[in-house]
Structures are given as C-alpha cells and as structure tokens.
Structure 1
Amino acid sequence: MWCAVWDFEVSPRQSIGETVMEELRARAAADGVALRVGVVIEHNDAVLMLEHEEHAEGRSPLHLPGTVVRPGESLAGAVVRAVREETGLSVVDIVRHLGSFDYLSGAGKPVRREHFAVEVGDAGPVRVTNYADYRWVPLSGELPVTPSIRRILMNYRQ
C-alpha cells in the first residue's frame, strides 16, 4: 500500500493575525461553505500566475496558486501547502487577507475561496506540478484573469 508523506513547514509568521484566520474559518462553517485558499505572490512588481495547458472557453487560463482546505487543516497550513505543492516555493509570512468570493463547485457544492498575500523565502526557482507553466504577470496594466480574481488583485494593489 502506498501513502503520501507531507513535509510542509506549517508555521510561517502570520502578520495577518491568528484571530483573522479563526474568524474566516468560523464564518465559512456558519455559512455552510467548503473552504479553499488562493495566494498572491509578488516579485519585482509582478504576480505569480499558473497556467493550465487547456482551459474552458470563456475562462482565463491563468490562476493564482491555491488549494482545498482539508478537514482539520488550519488556513495557514493550507496556504503553505498550496504554495509548496503548486510552485515549490516556501511561505515565510502570511501578510494579509485580500478578500473572498463564493461559487459553486463542479459538483454543485457551495465553496468560498479566501485569498491571502504572502511573502516567500525566495522567488525561484518555480517548479509547477499541477499546471503546464507559470508566468510572472506585471501588476500594471490589464491582468488576463477572471473578474473575481481581478477584484482580489485590485485589493492587493491598494
């Protein structure tokens, strides 16, 4: 039998504050929505975006790193795991909460995606696993993303 062994550092600084993280988790539980996290990583005035090889028509091929929050997993742990699994980078600080949006999963279940700005120890090398490629997209100008992600990135820029 094969089993996965996770080797993640789940205790970055949390400039955001633990109270904020607990409130977000409690609000999602009260609203009956599953939690996901999305992460903004900036380097040289550009944001790290992940690119699917194929994408549905009308949807952006570019995505922020993110993941499902597992049962019993802290939001901080999910943020760290998402960045490590999808980019190979290490989170050293969860800086701030950028907002959220709700949607229905492919299975029709309600989901809330909470977004966070993080600081990583080093911006490279980026090693994508679940995506075809990555891009550092400049924050100035038009961002090729969905309206929901555009709003999150506008919050980040402010």
Structure 2
Amino acid sequence: MWCAVWDFEVSPRQSIGETVLEELRARAAADGVALRVGVVVEHNDAVLMLEHEEHVEGRSPLHLPGTVVRPGESLGSAVVRAVREETGLAVVDIVRHLGSFDYLSSAGKPVRREHFAAEVATTGPVRVTNYAEYRWVPLRGELPVTSSIRRILMTYQE
C-alpha cells in the first residue's frame, strides 16, 4: 500500500493584525530582549497544557506550548511553529495578544515571552514531542501554573 504525505505550511488567518505583531517585535528589539512566544489553545473551556516528565522544584509542572522566536522569523510564524512542533496541531487563526512577561534565561539573558490566543484546525490527536504528556486543564479553578501564566490565562478569560 502506498500513501502520499504532504508537508507544507498553511498560512493562518491573523485576526490579531500584522501591525500588532510587528510592534511587539520592534519593542522587544528596542528593549534588547530575546523573544519567545506562548500560545493558549482552548477546547471545551479547557486549555492545552504540556507537562515535563520530571518536575523541577520551584517551577510549574505545566506549560503552554511555546518556542524561541528565530532570527528573522515573524511572531506569527513562531506561533504556528510552536504549536505544530510541540503538539502536532495546526493553527488556523492567531486571534489576539494576551500580554507578556520578562525574565532572565538560565544563561542570565533577558527574555520577553509574548502570549497569544490561537485557534487550531482540530484539537486532536495531540502528539507531544518535547514533553512527557499533555492535559486539557479546565479554566475554572486553581491552575497548577506560575503566577505569570495565571495572569495570562486570566486575561484570556476576560
């Protein structure tokens, strides 16, 4: 049996608008911080969270899909790539910006993590790559995440 596999990128809608994405990139460059993105994907009032196999003390066990923005890469492309690489899901729309927070990387470099709400074509199957497993975590109740991510998720719910 023969099966063709197509591997090509589909450009998602950007309801957020390209101007917003470019302004965020320019602000990060002016502030001298490296950029990362985090992505909120919701399904049935729950958010897709990724879990490392080993929990490091003082760090949240659950994370949003995300990635480093590569040199020359647009924020929109980084959002699409983060979700695809970490979950296997395809982003069809980048809906809105949810905010950001700054921190120091493990190497002591300043980083800004910009967060976005995105819609995906389907919510499964989820195929995690860099994580042990995934969970759909209800938005209501206590979320096992850092205070920074909790603030992003509260903004998402507004």
TM-score (norm 2): 0.94
1:68 aligns with 2:55: no
CA distance in 2, matches of 1:130, 1:146: 19
TM-score (norm: length of structure 1):
0.94
- The yes-or-no answer on 1:123 pairing with 2:123 is yes
User: Matches of residues 15-54 of structure 1 in structure 2 within 5 Å?
Assistant: 15-54=15-54
1:60-106 per-position Cα deviation (integer Å, ceiling 9, x unaligned): 11000000000000000000000000000000000000000000000
Once superposed, which parts of structure 1, at least 4 consecutive aligned residues long, lie more than 6 Å away? none
The residue type equivalent to 2:103 in the other structure is Y
Q: Which amino acid aligns with 1:140?
A: R
Q: Is the 8 A contact 1:10 1:77 kept in 2?
A: no
Q: Deviations over 1:93-149 (max 9, x none)?
A: 000000000000000000000000000000000000000000000001111100000
1:105–1:11: structure 2 CA closer, same or farther, 3 Å change rule?
same
Q: What is the SS of the residue equivalent to 1:122?
A: coil
Q: Give yes or no for contact 1:49–1:64 (8 Å, CA) kept in 2.
A: yes
Alignment partner, residue 154 of structure 1: 154
After TM superposition, list the pairs within 5 Å mapping 1:54-133 onto structure 2.
54-133=54-133
Residue 135 of structure 2 is matched in structure 1 by: 135
Deviation at 1:8, TM superposition (A): 5.5
Q: What is the identity, as a one-letter code, of the residue corresponding to 1:90? A: A
Identity of aligned residues (%): 89
Q: Do the aligned residues in 2 keep the contact of 1:12 with 1:92 (CA within 8 Å)?
A: yes
CA distance in 2, matches of 1:8, 1:94: 18
Q: 1:10 Cα deviation (Å)? A: 5.5
Contact 1:65–1:87 (8 Å) recurs in 2: yes
Question: Deviations along 1:2-60, whole A, 9 cap, x unmatched?
Answer: xxxxx552621000000000000000000000000000000000000000001211211
Could you tell me which runs of 5 or more consecutive residues in structure 2 were left unpaired when the two chains were aligned: 1-6
In the alignment, the residues of structure 2 paired with residue 133 and residue 37 of structure 1 have an alpha-carbon distance, to the nearest angstrom, of 20
